[in-house]
Amino acid sequence: MPHFTVQIHEEELDGKAEPGLIRALTDSVVAVYGERARSAAVVELFGIPRHRWGTAGAPATATAPVVTLNIREPALHLPEIANAPARLIASITDAVVTVFGEPIRRHVTVLIVGIPSGRSGVGGEAV
């Protein structure tokens, strides 16, 4: 199950951005894995007040969302999907840019976390 967590300045979440970001991130994983991924995609948005976020030892001034995609490791190595990690990074970055605009592109951080088989579970069962 592709599971997104997004950390972003609280001020960017204005009630209008959230639906677009959820839709765009879901679409980003569908662009790589196909429509079957849509129903499994989960998106969580976490707003962090600007004064509680810093880089290089100082409070951050630019909006710099961090998107983490947790996905089962085997999905990153499917032979029918060449370069899945690179494609996901590009697609996820594009998704964030569609919501917040092109100037944010250079600040978007994407982390892909591959979960090994047997290290996640659904309904109390390891998968």
Question: How far, in Å, CA of 115 to CA of 109, rounded?
Answer: 19
Burial-class residue 67 by CB neighbours within 10 Å (0-12, 13-18, 19+): buried
Domain enclosing residue 110, as ranges:
3-54+64-116
On whether residue 121 sits in a domain, the answer given is no
On whether residue 75 sits in a domain, the answer given is yes
pLDDT at 54: 82
Element (H, E) at 122: strand 121-122
- Per-residue pLDDT tens listing for the chain (127 residues): 899 999 999 999 999 999 999 999 999 999 999 999 999 999 999 999 988 888 788 887 777 899 999 999 999 999 999 999 999 999 999 999 999 999 999 999 999 999 998 888 888 988 8
DSSP 90-109: HHHHHHHHHHH-GGGGGG-E
pLDDT at 63: 78
CATH of the domain at 26: 3.30.429.10
**0.75 cut: is pTM over it?**
yes
DSSP 72-85: EGGGGG-TTSTTHH
* Count of the separate structural domains present in the chain: 1
pLDDT at 101: 94
On whether residue 44 sits in a domain, the answer given is yes
pLDDT at 79: 95
Q: Which residues, in sequence order, are bridge partners of residue 48?
A: 9
29 and 69 Cβ atoms separated by less than 8 Å: yes
pLDDT at 122: 81
